[in-house]
Chains A and B, each alone.
Chain A
Amino acid sequence: MLSEDILFLSVTELGKRIRSRHLSPVELTESYLDRSRHIGPKLNAYATLMPELAIKQAHAAEKEIAAGKYRGPLHGIPYAAKDLLAVKGYPTTWGARPYSDQRIDSDALVIKKLEAAGAILLGKAAMIELAGGMGYRFPSASATGAAKNPWNTDHWTCGSSSGSGAITAAGLAAFAIGTETWGSIICPSGFCGLSGLRPTYGRVGRTGAMALSYTMDKIGPITRSAEDCDLLLKILAGHDPGDVGSLPEASAKYSGAPEVSGRLRVGWLANQWKELQPAVNQAAMDARAVLEKSPNITLSNVTLPEGPWETAAGLVVSVEGATAFRDLIHSGGVAELSDPLGKIGGYMNEEISASDFILAQRIRTILQKKMEEIFTQVDVLATPSLPVTAPRIDANLDLELSFADPIGGIGNICGLPAISVPCGFDQQNLPVGIQFIGRALDDAKPIQAARIYQRQTDWHKKKPHLA
């Protein structure tokens, strides 16, 4: 089996070694599978492991590469996909007991794209039931139980891409695919010390992905570096004819983040979080100091516009989720969900009036314009990914993960791209993250900021000690 030093390499580095034939895709896949079998269950990381498919794809990749048919930097790279992405021939449970037997007879578009790029699918990552669409109060809100944080297994990974965070952080795969409607890539990336990208809404096609919020769901990579996020977005981005939210190809395609030749204008959101844990504050101050010293960054302070943005964002998700899972709610099937809030959330969300929903959509337009104005002054916004580190695995999240998150609401209701990268640890060895948020379709700029930061630091190269 390959050593941890290999298994924790970035996709970019693994790809170079595979291309030069210093690393075998079969050996790499077998090593990740072996690690996934031993460590995965301890973390509740996977919903389904797919060794037969993975080995088959690995042998095919190895044969092609040996024959000189190298497909690109993902060829022979093993990954995991959140269990809301359909894979033909395997269960797609959406993390929820009512769908435990569900099989969808086609692959999701992102699965097809990754297969075409030569990536190897190891398995389906565990997730919060229905991506948290009916609400949840405990980390155990999943058919596979609470996902444990590889940095400290007494603590949670965050959701809803909980398994995607656990798998990547534990070195069980080279990367994972997650989704975000509100926080589900940024939060697990922050809590697990990973580099996770939420692309601009509409940039990555959603055919074959579970719908929670038709106007807010996004698909993105959870990786070990900003460079890897850039690489993955180039593969994943593009128009999806089966997705009404998909951007036209000219806008959706992504050619990568070029090197910054001048200066990137970074606006620090000093008042995003009302309260910060001391360790988060210290790590964020240190990160800010690193940015200030960079010759490629001009740092300033920025304030967010004031308004009911979070309420509007929450309301949109609530209503769209209530229609997406209408049958489950009306049938009383929500009672089969694991979480006490999930069992009743749909009933409450159905009571939101059409008038309030349209009101939220009108406010959304105004907010989009206000954010456009901010992005005439800066290229990227920056702030800690979360004000706290990961809560305990048995936490009541209503009490321990409960705070205002204006940029989370704003970023997601406006469909803005964002990336979270690690910037330190607290006393319990739990990671702290910093996020960079960009203008719609400027996905390259948050990636550039994160890449500049990661070239000056090595937090993203740390790995947890797992038995």
Chain B
Amino acid sequence: MSKFSLDRRQFALGAAAAATALILPLDVLSEDTLSEKVLPANLPAPAGEDSNDDKIRAAMSKLSPTAQKEVEMKVDSIFRKYGDHLSEEQKADIRRIMAESQDGLEKMRAFKLDNGDQPADAFAAYRAESPSHAVNAHAMKSGAVKAGEKK
């Protein structure tokens, strides 16, 4: 089963290891089930018993040499910045998650985009009196207290 951790529990991993929706023709579905498969037991797929090192090796083996290097660079960057805060167990956890994350990232990067495909949070020029940007203008002017802002 493709792995995704629900509910932003593990976004770093989830972001990468998430499966895209598997599209099957609807006639593949049997009449007495509303998913592709009904689990035989009451719980999801059983836990794997591989060690952390095995999981890291397995994840890295699926990656191109370039992607493997990217994982190593990111892990090195984390350890360089925050290594003093981390135990060996935490470092191993980070290695595994970063390795398992990379495949999904590669798939996202392969998504075809045209030059003109704009991001969802595009910048907008700002004038206080512009009706089309009234929302931002209000927010900038309001000085409203934000969560975590202590007075």
Contacts and interface: CB of A to CB of B under 8 A. Distances in A.
A275 interface: yes
Q: Is the interface of A mostly helix, strand, loop or mixed?
A: loop
A341 interface: yes
A132 interface: yes
A314 B8 contact: yes
B128 interface: no
B125 interface: no
B34 A285 contact: yes
B108 interface: yes
Interface string A288-318: 1000000000000101111111111111011
A375 interface: no
A368 B120 contact: yes
Interface string A325-338: 00000001001000
A133 B8 contact: yes
Contacts of B90: 340, 343-344
A404 B4 contact: yes
Interface string B1-16: 1111111111111111
Nearest to B82: A347
Contacts of A242: 138-139, 142, 144-146
B26 A318 contact: no
Contact of B118 (A308, A345, A365, A396): A365
A274 B34 CA distance: 10
Interface in B41-67: 42-47
Interface in B22-51: 22-24, 26, 29, 32-39, 42-47
Given A187-B6, A281-B35, A348 B149 contact: no
B69 to A, nearest CB: 14
Contacts of A396: 47
Contacts of B16: 311, 314
Given A108-B147, A276-B33, A347-B81, A359 B4 contact: no
B9 A397 contact: yes
A310 B146 contact: no
A403 B10 contact: no
Interface residues of A, number: 117
Contacts of A182: 6-8
A1 interface: no
A356 B113 CA distance: 13
B150 A103 contact: yes
A211 B118 contact: no
B34 A284 contact: yes
Contacts of A426: 42
A6 B17 CA distance: 46
A400 B12 contact: no
Nearest to B71: A351
A386 B111 CA distance: 28
A447 interface: no
Given A208-B147, A403-B1, A275 B38 contact: yes
B20 A92 contact: no
A361 B11 contact: no
Interface in B98-146: 98, 101, 104-105, 107-109, 111, 113, 117-121, 134-136, 138-139, 141-142, 144-146
A366 B8 contact: no
B145 A207 contact: yes
Contacts of B113: 359, 362-363, 366
Given A104-B145, A211-B146, A311-B16, A241 B138 contact: yes
A402 interface: yes
A160 interface: yes
Nearest to A279: B42
A308 B20 contact: yes
B22 A405 contact: no
A274 B26 CA distance: 13
Contacts of B138: 239, 241-242
Given A278-B38, A341-B10, A351 B78 contact: yes
Interface of B: 1-16, 18-24, 26, 29, 32-39, 42-47, 74, 77-78, 81-82, 85-86, 90, 93-94, 97-98, 101, 104-105, 107-109, 111, 113, 117-121, 134-136, 138-139, 141-142, 144-151
29 contacts: A104-B145, A105-B145, A160-B8, A210-B148, A242-B146, A271-B26, A274-B1, A274-B35, A276-B34, A276-B37, A308-B108, A309-B20, A311-B107, A314-B14, A317-B8, A317-B11, A317-B15, A318-B11, A340-B90, A343-B90, A348-B101, A356-B109, A361-B119, A361-B121, A362-B120, A363-B111, A364-B119, A386-B6, A401-B6
| Top 3 A-B pairs, shortest CB-CB distance | A242-B144, A314-B15, A310-B18
Interface of A: 84-86, 92, 102-106, 108, 131-133, 135-137, 158-160, 181-184, 187, 207-212, 215, 239, 241-244, 246-248, 268, 270-279, 281, 284-285, 288, 301, 303-315, 317-318, 321, 332, 335, 340-341, 343-345, 347-352, 356, 358-366, 368, 384, 386-389, 391, 396-406, 408-409, 426-428
